[in-house]
Structure 1
């Protein structure tokens, strides 16, 4: 079950009607809760004169709100941090396909929704993050955790720390695993994860890293940007935590490491569609893409943008093999995965 959602609006009420005829506005519903994104919004307003009014929530809360508001929704742009939720918004008809030569040229096809017959694209991915394994460099052998499958191996019994199985980051990983292993083997694998847990699932990805560093766990699962954030922290204690753990990009010899996509779409009932397209195009610009890379430690998706983030380079060796799997398949597997989680007792 998903938690209750709390929506926080900016001081300005989200309604185009509240703006003067001369004022240009963009009403943004965002699941990106990263303080470094503030520079993105400020610079967009400086460059265009378009004022951003923002509502913050998580992916599920935003989609639920869009459904509840219907045609009365003031939302112009939606930013989500999970590819399967982007897919869900698309199939639920919550997005308005965008036709933009700028976006088509900048964002590779594998990081966006399938192009419609009329050329419209329902959503675009602007950044990615890899789901990796961290481990105790003293007590755990790297070769024992170099694939996702090995997380369920008896050699790792009592060592695994992981957040809730129902969190979108894990649901997407597990949904992808169904495509690779099939339903029966995936359920057996999930049971193996439960059997190997050092403690019941709790906390966020940062807590899993800290658990490994403290000795509570031998291995953990995290998105890369959490680890990179600690590696680059101004707090010496956080840097010390990051230094204590090893990191593995799993399945480099097979299907590749699972990545998730954060992206954006124009809301179906956008009241400021031209401004929405401008903002989405801005997010594909080198300036914005570098904020994703250097501000929030994500890999940019736009063509021609290189990563200069030292932490990302250090943990990945500069490059890694990533999984290539249809986003629609991952999304469609999620109900099936949740049922598996219930059966194996993965909270």
Structure 2
């Protein structure tokens, strides 16, 4: 009895941590659990409300927190949609039985198979490249043209990276494991961490700023962070953008690693029809255009205008590794990062 009471307490507590406890489970609503943190998201949710008359309730937290909440809530969960910024987290949610397969001709016609779950449990609605940003006046692009070259012994302490706890780096590491195997991936990780100019700290923008400031010569980052610096109202941040260049690694072999913002309908969604409408809204041409032009994310559609920054960097070869592998290889990736001292 104590266990049941304690579990009930946890469910109630988690249900009130981030928002009020009165999320609607009936009526014309859709409840979104989201790991995204961009201002444009709330604008799009408001636009969806105006277009459809469906009220959008949003719970914001980390992916791990949201997944834990869904597990504890079980059949009583008010959530209709789970949005995360990493395919590995969506795979984790699917494996935990927290999502359901969805059939929508509108979505399936737009989102290519490589950008969705093989059983339609989740779909990408944007993607981003995990590219290399470097100081062209201090390092030759040819010496860092692949992820593997960042681990070369002769490169020296010229690399800065954010923490291994970050899902973007975990998924990059998972892709390395998938391509090279655990043994070679471990060697790569040891070489990379041996080339760190400092202990990992800060976000992607902090790594780019460190390169521009001469604290290091190269980093790995999501492309939209570079674009955000370029359009910043802060002159110092725009100067950071002017001091670095973007390189898409592994263009002569497997291609550049990408990750996604993706969405899945939850297993016990009380408003499934509204959830599917939101999913279809997110992959619509007007929304895809805004996400690209205003937030510098790559659209899943091929018929919308790109951000000027994405146009500037041009087309690139994308790693064709199944995004599901990023979740499947997460555990060995994290283990290897821990073994190598990637903090």
TM-score category by the smaller chain? over 0.9
Q: How many residue pairs get matched?
A: 329
- Rounded Cα–Cα distance in structure 1 between residues aligned with 2:165 and 2:103: 34
- Rounded Cα–Cα distance in structure 2 between residues aligned with 1:36 and 1:269: 27
Shift of 1:12: 8.0
Given the alignment of the two structures, is residue 307 of structure 1 paired with residue 316 of structure 2, yes or no?
A: no
Q: Deviations over 1:92-117 (max 9, x none)?
A: 110121111111111111111113xx
- Rounded Cα–Cα distance in structure 1 between residues aligned with 2:100 and 2:45: 22
- Rounded Cα–Cα distance in structure 2 between residues aligned with 1:156 and 1:203: 23
- Rounded Cα–Cα distance in structure 1 between residues aligned with 2:333 and 2:146: 20
Does the CA-based 8 Å contact 2:117-2:324 persist in structure 1? Answer: no
Match of 1:16 among 16, 25, 28: 25
- Rounded Cα–Cα distance in structure 1 between residues aligned with 2:317 and 2:155: 24
- Rounded Cα–Cα distance in structure 2 between residues aligned with 1:150 and 1:90: 34
Shift of 1:28: 0.6
Q: Which residue of 2 aligns with 1:91?
A: 95
- Rounded Cα–Cα distance in structure 2 between residues aligned with 1:123 and 1:323: 19
Given the alignment of the two structures, is residue 338 of structure 1 paired with residue 334 of structure 2, yes or no?
A: yes
- Rounded Cα–Cα distance in structure 2 between residues aligned with 1:41 and 1:148: 37
Shift of 1:7: 5.2
Summarize the alignment of residues 273-288 of structure 1 with structure 2, pairs less than 5 Å apart.
Answer: 273-288=272-287
Shift of 1:156: 2.0
> Which deviates the most, 197-206 or 332-341?
332-341
Can you give the 5+ residue segments of structure 2 that lack an aligned partner in the other structure? 1-13
- Rounded Cα–Cα distance in structure 2 between residues aligned with 1:38 and 1:12: 20
Q: Which residue of 1 aligns with 2:7?
A: none
- The runs of at least 4 aligned residues of structure 1 exceeding 6 Å deviation read none
Given the alignment of the two structures, is residue 124 of structure 1 paired with residue 134 of structure 2, yes or no?
A: no
- Rounded Cα–Cα distance in structure 1 between residues aligned with 2:323 and 2:292: 22
Shift of 1:42: 1.0
Shift of 1:234: 2.4
Shift of 1:8: 3.0
Q: Which residue of 1 aligns with 2:6?
A: none
Q: What secondary structure sits across from 1:261 in the alignment?
A: strand
Given the alignment of the two structures, is residue 247 of structure 1 paired with residue 243 of structure 2, yes or no?
A: no
Q: Deviations over 1:160-193 (max 9, x none)?
A: 1000122110110111111221111110010011
- Rounded Cα–Cα distance in structure 2 between residues aligned with 1:313 and 1:331: 30
Given the alignment of the two structures, is residue 325 of structure 1 paired with residue 316 of structure 2, yes or no?
A: no
Aligned CA RMSD, in angstroms, stands at 1.6
Does the CA-based 8 Å contact 2:298-2:306 persist in structure 1? Answer: no
Q: Which residue of 2 aligns with 1:62?
A: 66
Does the CA-based 8 Å contact 2:125-2:261 persist in structure 1? Answer: yes
Given the alignment of the two structures, is residue 41 of structure 1 paired with residue 37 of structure 2, yes or no?
A: no
Does the CA-based 8 Å contact 1:299-1:307 persist in structure 2? Answer: no
Q: TM-score, normalised by structure 2?
A: 0.92
Can you give the 5+ residue segments of structure 1 that lack an aligned partner in the other structure? 18-22, 116-120
Q: TM-score, normalised by structure 1?
A: 0.91
- Rounded Cα–Cα distance in structure 1 between residues aligned with 2:324 and 2:245: 32
Q: Which residue of 2 aligns with 1:227?
A: 226
- Rounded Cα–Cα distance in structure 2 between residues aligned with 1:58 and 1:291: 24
Does the CA-based 8 Å contact 2:176-2:185 persist in structure 1? Answer: yes
Shift of 1:206: 0.5
